[in-house]
Chains A and B, each alone.
Chain A
């Protein structure tokens, strides 16, 4: 009986190790999105005031090449933090970035872009209640989706895009999708 007590540490460690083995195959950052690997929802969003008349965002615009769709809003503080990074990514000329001005007054969104820089090729206005972005699978702003050449959503990034996230996660996915 006394001997069994001495086996306790190794037993506890064994259980822990099993969990670690399982844990290595899981990704804790994965937040399941039902819309991953589904086509982009049907949409036809109006452009923001002050931008070219044909620069709204429609389903067809997301076909033919790999693109990023960024959800922002003039009310969103974290978007201010993220924005210089998007401007910087645009400067690299690797991928076209589109925006959805979500749950926002389009005039405010346009003003916000004039102040913080405009990295977007197309921007669709999705004023309240913002149904289109919700159809996309948005849970909050900022979020960024990667859409492949066929117009299928391949990845969803939650929260601000950081230089690290761009280099380590988003860019490799974009490169891979471009090969296909």
Chain B
């Protein structure tokens, strides 16, 4: 019964969404206030109905109602309650329902917080948002109904995939979707602005916080996924350039660019049509990710069960949404009024340079991800594109970007003084060169990879450049006494930028070190054997069989010594879950300031003597997680800025402090 209520609520939501996509838009074209006003209650009703459907499916999972096919396939009574609930979105149908729920939530949020929006813009944006909803509601109702019944109902479900019973993976999809779907706000407002033919600072002021919120969620989601891969897959890696990872990384790159170009629209009334294009591209890439994961067009380790019928539908949706938007863009964008002009060397110029590099980066990732498809379609054979392509094409693009990132914030708007800025960064230049040289010497010259010194120098440059900008802003060296007070009085958006840029610097250091100096030893060990990795001596002290609630495991005990002292005792496991049998790796990781000590036990050697073990030292990996966390904190701090606060009264243009920026 409850499942039928959920199904019915989805149909009602579709009806409401159809009304919401047509009436307010027509009202805005005709200047009819009553028609435009339909958007508010409609978006609320849509959210209510979709919410009821989501609650109904969650209920079915919580009580293990196996007469619902989706629950029978993906849940099991033995699952802990937490994973029953997170199981709701651990499958195609349920995750799609989560997508739609978040989409409706954002629509309702526009109504709730957007009282001071121009009514025409609000009505149009909500109509666009509802059109996307209509597409997805049709998709779920026609091809992926989560409420389908199963008769007779089985006694228990099939879903006990142990890999998915993990906090990192359980909360990875909601964050990703909050990010993907969050970009739909920028998209809807961009299309609304194109229809109106007007983009102004007020528009950007509205779009920025939503984009920032989506960016924060997406960053969290990507990092959670990466962290999960790091500790669960047991290969010591954290990023594989897998198509599904790329599908989340492309909108992140485009979204980051959008975040920065929206600043230019807000402060300088420039780069308008570029910003609109980025908003469309960012959401388009989010949709593309959904398409790639669910259509079976590209193979990946974590693709959902793919089905060409669904693929056709979602490709149609993609074509209508993205193709239609680009078409509208081609017609309307040329007539957008060109705003403030600026010299190439200026803060706008630096932001534009970063934008172009980010967009090119996203383009190369797209090319690499889709290349196997192109080759297959053109009969050039089956190929796969691996990390070497991405590392040698994407990473070099990021070098000039990071170089410019330290300089850009110090440049003045409109016309900057590059020699002046560089002379203020003399110390940072010198220290970065020193760090690069020290890195080169410490790794034993060409004994380590040549790019490691560059990476560490770049991280130092960005970190010091960011600090220098902050010091300058609070006049740390000119009047140190008042610096603290000034720092506290700075707009939170300025703090946010400093934190996010510094976090990226720390991340780059971690990424460089972990890629350059990771030490990995794979061997067969018997009890009592000792293997040394990066100064840590791993002794296999014992191996025993352990029985868990629903698995058998081989547990190895390693004593890790450094300099003769016992540093840690770790117990990695290799588990085989029963019914159906499924192996998982439980890596043992001990983090230190300088890196992770990481041990994995594998299968018993077929020849009968010992076990296959993989032992790693992953330098500075904790820095990566810390850097990513600092970036997220920077985003949150910036979001809390009162000028970003959704619904805060807009100030008169002249009275904004000159220091304002992101």
Name A's B-contacting residues (CB within 8 A). Answer: 2-3, 6-7, 9-10, 13-14, 16-17, 19-31, 74-75, 77, 80-81, 84-85, 87-88, 112, 162-163, 166, 168
Please tell me which one of the listed residues A17, A23, A163 contacts residue B581 in the complex, with CB atoms under 8 A apart: A163
Query: Contacts A17-B323, A20-B297, A20-B315: A84 and B576 contacting too (C-beta < 8 A)?
Result: yes
Q: Report how far A112 CA is from B604 CA in the complex, Å.
A: 12
Q: Which of B52-60, B230-238, B244-252, B373-381 contacts A (4 or more CB under 8 A)?
A: B373-381
Measured between alpha carbons, how far is A77 from B524 in the docked complex, in Å?
13
Structural contact, A112 and B323, CB atoms closer than 8 A: no
Nearest-CB residue, chain B, relative to A12: B326
The answer to whether A24 and B315 have CB atoms under 8 Å apart is yes
Asked if B298 and A28 make an inter-chain contact with CB atoms under 8 angstroms apart, the answer reads yes
Quick check: B311 and A163 within 8 Å, CB to CB? Answer: no
**Among the listed A10, A20, A25, which residue makes an inter-chain contact with B326, where contact means beta carbons less than 8 Å apart?**
A10
**CA gap between A168 and B603 in the complex, in Å:** 27
How far is A29 from B372 in the complex, measured between Cα atoms in Å?
A: 11
Contact of A23 among B281, B373, B606 (CB under 8 A): B373
B330 within 8 A of A: yes
Contacts of B329 in A (CB 8 A): 6, 9-10
A77 to B612, CA, bound (A): 10
A–B complex contacts, Cβ < 8 Å, 23 sampled: A2-B334, A3-B330, A6-B330, A6-B334, A9-B277, A10-B327, A10-B330, A13-B284, A13-B326, A17-B315, A19-B374, A20-B297, A23-B295, A23-B376, A24-B296, A24-B308, A24-B311, A26-B373, A27-B296, A28-B373, A28-B376, A81-B603, A88-B581
Asked if B334 and A3 sit within 8 Å, CB to CB, the answer is yes
Assess whether B642 is interfacial by the CB under 8 Å rule: no
Inter-chain CA distance A61–B631, complex, in Å, is 64
Judged by DSSP, the binding face of B is: helix
What distance in Å separates the Cβ of A110 from its nearest Cβ neighbour in chain B? 13
Separation of A24 and B327 alpha carbons in the complex (Å): 24
The distance in angstroms between the C-alpha atoms of A84 and B575, with both chains bound, is 12
Given A16-B370, A85-B580, also A28-B297 (CB < 8 A): yes
Q: Does B312 contact A (CB under 8 A)?
A: yes
Q: Give chain B interface residues in 284-308, CB to chain A under 8 Å.
A: 284, 291, 295-299, 305, 308
Known: A21-B315, A75-B606. A31 touches B326 (CB 8 A): no
B interface residue count range (under 10 / 10 to 19 / 20 to 34 / 35 or more)? 35 or more
Residue of B281, B299, B382, B580 most packed against chain A (CB within 10 A):
B580
B576-604 vs A, Cβ < 8 Å mask (1 yes, 0 no): 10011111000000000000000000010
Instruction: Name the distance in Å between B191's Cβ and chain A's nearest Cβ.
Output: 14
**How distant is the Cα of A13 from the Cα of B320 in the complex, in angstroms?**
11
Alpha-carbon distance between A112 and B606 when the two chains are bound, in angstroms = 7
**Structural contact, A10 and B295, CB atoms closer than 8 A:** no
State whether the Cβ of B487 lies closer than 8 Å to any Cβ in chain A.
no
Contact check, A9 vs B315: say whether CB atoms are below 8 A apart.
no
A80: B residues at CB distance < 8 A:
603, 606
CB distance from B325 to the nearest CB of A (A): 9
Known: A24-B295, A77-B612. A31 touches B382 (CB 8 A): yes
For the complex, give the distance between the alpha carbons of A30 and B379 in Å.
Answer: 13
Instruction: Considering the complex, give the chain A residue whose CB is closest to the CB of B363.
Output: A12
**Chain B nearest CB, measured from A151 CB (Å):** 29
A162 CA to B163 CA, complexed, in Å: 13
User: Per-residue 0/1 for B309-338: is the Cβ within 8 Å of any A Cβ (1 yes, 0 no)?
Assistant: 001100100110011001101100110000
Q: Is the CB of B580 within 8 A of A28?
A: no
Most buried by B among A24, A27, A29, A166: A24
By a CB distance below 8 angstroms, the chain B residues around A88 are: 579-581
> Chain A residues near B322 (CB, 8 Å)?
13
Task: Check B333–A14 contact: CB distance below 8 A.
Answer: no
Q: Mark B260-283, 1 if CB is under 8 A from A, else 0.
A: 000000000000010001001100
Knowing A2-B334, A6-B329, A9-B329, say if A26 contacts B323 (CB, 8 Å).
no
Of the residues A9, A14, A25, A28, contact of B281 by C-beta under 8 Å: A9
| A164 CB → nearest B CB, Å | 8
* Residues of chain B contacted by A10 (CB below 8 angstroms): 323, 326-327, 329-330
Those 5 A-B pairs whose CB atoms lie nearest each other, nearest first = A163-B580, A84-B581, A10-B326, A22-B377, A23-B297
A171 to chain B: closest CB distance in Å?
12
B376 touches which of A17, A26, A75, A84 (Cβ 8 Å) = A26
Set of chain A residues within 8 Å of B376, measured between Cβ atoms: 23, 26, 28
From the candidates B281, B318, B372, B582, name the one contacting A163 in the complex (CB within 8 A): B582
- Min Cβ gap B78→A in Å is 16
Task: Give every chain A residue within 8 A of B582 (Cβ-Cβ).
Answer: 162-163
Interface centre among A6, A22, A112 (most CB of B within 10 A): A6
Q: Give the residues from 321 to 371 in chain B that come closer than 8 angstroms, CB to CB, to chain A.
A: 322-323, 326-327, 329-330, 333-334, 370
Complex CA gap A16/B284 in Å reads 12
Measured CA separation A29–B297 after assembly (Å): 10
- Please indicate the chain B residues that have their CB under 8 angstroms from the CB of A14 in the complex: 323
How far, in whole Å, are A74 and B606 apart by their CA atoms in the complex?
7
Chain B, residues 366-402, CB within 8 Å of chain A (1/0): the string is 0000101110110000100000000000000000000
Q: Are A9 and B580 in contact (CB under 8 A)?
A: no
Residue of A nearest to B574 (CB): A81
Q: Are B323 and A13 in contact (CB under 8 A)?
A: yes
Smallest beta-carbon distance A12→chain B, Å: 8
Contacts of B377 in A (CB 8 A): 19, 22-23, 26
List of A residues within 8 angstroms of B319 by Cβ: 17
How many angstroms from the CA of A24 to the CA of B284 in the assembled complex? 19
A31 neighbours in B (Cβ, 8 Å): 382
Closest-by-CB residue of A relative to B373 is A23
Task: For the complex, give the distance between the alpha carbons of A84 and B373 in Å.
Answer: 34
For B333, give the chain A residue with the smallest CB separation: A6
Other than the known A6-B329, A20-B297, what 20 A-B pairs have Cβ atoms closer than 8 Å?
Answer: A3-B330, A6-B273, A9-B277, A10-B326, A13-B284, A16-B370, A19-B373, A20-B291, A27-B296, A28-B296, A28-B299, A28-B372, A28-B382, A31-B382, A74-B606, A77-B606, A80-B606, A112-B606, A162-B582, A163-B580
Q: Report A-chain residues with C-beta under 8 Å of the C-beta of B583.
A: 81, 84
B296: A residues at CB distance < 8 A? 24, 27-28
By a CB distance below 8 angstroms, the chain A residues around B372 are 28
